[in-house]
Amino acid sequence: MSDTVSKLGAVNKRLMGLFGADQKTMLAFRQLSETTVREGSVSTAMKEVIAVALAVAKGGDDCILFHVNAAKKHGATREMLVEVLAVAIEMSGGPGTVYSAKAVEAFDGL
């Protein structure tokens, strides 16, 4: 098992721990998440790539990994991710560059 896959497993384990602590909030959050990324005029893959870019701008390691995995599962390509990450870098500078590199590394590791 790759390090990236292990890290994703740890993210999911933490989320399940929070679900155990507060099911009502986590069920509501899951419904919001599922509603937000539903297919529409913007594809689910692109919405997940946008979520990666936002996680990059916010510096959220776990969110980057979670949404890279979802983007890849929905058919996002590495090229699509890299193009959108260029916007995240433009908008967030040096930190965005570092977190964008983490996102590409996660994509390659999954």
Distance between CA atoms of residues 19 and 24, nearest Å: 8
What is the residue extent of each domain of the chain? Answer: 3-109
CATH number of the domain at 3-109, please? Answer: 1.20.1290.10
* Cα–Cα nearest to 55, from 69, 75, 76, 44: 69
Q: What is the mean pLDDT of the chain?
A: 96
Asked whether the predicted pLDDT for residue 1 surpasses 80, the reply is no
Cα 21 to Cα 15: distance, rounded to the nearest angstrom: 10
b/e sequence 83-108, b meaning 16+ C-beta within 10 Å: ebbeebbeebeeebeebbebbeebbe
**pLDDT tens per residue, range 50-101:** 999 999 999 999 999 999 999 999 999 999 999 999 999 999 999 999 999 9
pTM to 2 decimal places: 0.91
